[in-house]
Amino acid sequence: MPRFAIRVAYDGTDFHGWQRQEPPGGEPLRTVQGVLDRALTEVLQTRVGCQGASRTDSGVHAEGQVAAFTADCRIPVDRIPAALNARLEEDVRIMAAWGVPDDFDPVGDALAKGYRYEIAPAPPFTARLPFDRRMVFRTAHGLDAGRMRRAAAALVGTHDFSAFAHAQHGRESPVRTVFSCEVSTLLDDRVTIDVSGSGFLYNMVRIIAGTLVEAGRGRIEPASVPDILASRDRSRAGPTLPAQGLRLRWIHYAEDRAEPRTTEKGPE
């Protein structure tokens, strides 16, 4: 039976995270996986369950989540997004679909993931754009992006990230590899933190963001980040920032499993 992958974008505000949740004796909670499974079942006229590459938390957004499902799908693959989107609410969209090998595992086959945390530091005015409340973390403090960049640089590499993860992260090993951690300023009222790595622990990116904000405020010295890592002490890192500023931007796979690239020909 053929296997397919889909790229999913969603506004996580009104979802209880990615993973399906069905409390005993209660109504199922609204999750991204839950609404996708329902739409897939309606489209394909058979019960279908999808597996996501990242179990994003309640309130976390995505533009590049990847999920996979196996089904006898008679719809042309390029029409799968439209068929699913017609049955989904506006806060979740299927952006692309493609065929993958039968053994494709969206979790285990992922080579790298990229997240962005977006912050609005205290500007010289107090007005706040109304749509920012869902997508951007607002802090009442000014931030020194230079200090944040120096702190971010110390996180790159393979480390024990116990100090930057929820105590109940549920993984056998807290060792992870961060490929890049970059801080950028957009105009005068945005700071973005882009983190890529082979994988992340529970709350890891939100704690990294919280630590970099503390560095930007002058409450954590950038030079102390290696010591915080070595301590494995969660209390020494920064706070876990709220979910609304975080989004999953992309997931990379080997070429034979990745979303096919579209190339546009210019005039001949």
Query: Among candidates 58, 223, 257, which has minimal Cα distance to 153?
Result: 223
Cβ-based neighbours of 179, under 8 Å, separated by 6 or more: 112, 156, 196, 197, 198
**Catalytic pick among 11, 14, 37, 57:** 57
Tokens 């490929």, residue?
A: 179
Question: Would you state the structure tokens that stand for residue 255, as one six-digit string?
Answer: 């070429």
How far apart, in whole angstroms, are the C-alpha atoms of residue 55 and residue 144?
Answer: 32
55 burial class (0-12, 13-18, 19+ CB within 10 angstroms)? middle
Residue 57 a catalytic site member: yes
Tell me the catalytic residues.
Answer: 57
